[in-house]
Amino acid sequence: MDVSRPPISPPMIDLGRDAYRPSTQLRRIITARDRTCRFPGCSRPARHCDIDHDQEWTDHGITATCNLRCLCRMHHQMKTKKHWTSHTQPDQTTIWTSPFGYTTRQPPASYPTTTDPPTETAA
């Protein structure tokens, strides 16, 4: 093994302000990360959702993993029309605010953190 060669780095996936629409690769990453619509209580699978900019593109938002999330069409329209507002924190928790000022927190999707095999249960 040649240890003098630098490790291969992954290609750049965040597009910044260069493009509004996420690439196929970026869309796949956001879909896998979010798993479902990010609106509280919505379980629509992410593969059937729109990719939404948390900070709107028109307000200098970037097309990057830190600013994109999955929203089903209905919740995407509610946010776009300013019926609800949202802000995603660095840990990917999204704080949603209703038209009446009520706020709710939507934590990011959780994944198993162990690789232990499933335990057998008695039938």
Domain span including residue 39 = 24-83
Q: What is the DSSP letter of 46?
A: G
Q: Could you tell me if residue 102 is inside a domain?
A: no
Give the count of alpha carbons within 13 A of 79, CB side only. 26
Q: What is the pLDDT of residues 35-81, one digit of tens each?
A: 999 999 999 999 999 999 999 888 988 999 889 999 999 999 999 99
Q: Could you tell me if residue 115 is inside a domain?
A: no
Q: Could you tell me if residue 96 is inside a domain?
A: no
Residue 38 structure tokens:
């990010």
Count structural domains, the chain. Answer: 1
pLDDT, average across residues 105-115: 77
Q: Which of 38, 26, 123 minimizes the C-alpha distance to 79?
A: 38
pTM comes to 0.77
CA 99 to chain centre: 23
Cβ distance 114 to 99 under 8 Å? no
Q: Could you tell me if residue 6 is inside a domain?
A: no
Q: Could you tell me if residue 118 is inside a domain?
A: no
Q: What is the pLDDT of residues 68-88, one digit of tens each?
A: 999 999 999 999 999 999 988
